[in-house]
Amino acid sequence: MAFIVASVPYYVFAASAAFQAVDRSFERASLSLGRTPTRTFVSITLPLTFRGLSTGIAMAFARAIVAFGAVIVIAYYPSLPCADMACASRARSSTTTYRMEDCEA
């Protein structure tokens, strides 16, 4: 759920740009010909914004997958020793002076 929330701005920005790019004269013409606002939105506005909405979905999906990938790698391999943590545990457990050379692989 957090991935979706973090990705929403990507979709909102793309959708906002797509709706602002629609020429309002097409909508006004449709309304003047007797179409309802809902029918105008479905038949005029949505097809004109389809590319922008699709781009927003793709960007939001890509952002969510990237964030999910990082989390799943850490979650799947929780026993992998982190170099910094290994060095810190050695430094805490040793009674001698801590040196950087002790942590080199």
For each of the chain's 105 residues, which pLDDT tens digit applies? 777 788 889 999 999 999 999 999 999 999 999 999 999 999 999 999 999 999 999 999 998 888 777 777 777 766 655 555 555 565 555 555 555 555 555
Whether residue 14 contacts residue 55, with contact meaning beta carbons closer than 8 Å, is answered with: yes
Spell out the domain ranges in the chain: 2-78
- Length reported for the chain: 105
Look at residue 79 in the predicted model and tell me its pLDDT: 60
Amino acid 14 reads: A
Q: What is the largest CA-CA distance in the chain?
A: 87
Distance CA 58, CA 67 (A): 14
User: Residue 59 CB: number of other CB atoms within 10 A?
Assistant: 16
Look at residue 99 in the predicted model and tell me its pLDDT: 56
Helix (H) or strand (E) holding 86: helix 83-93
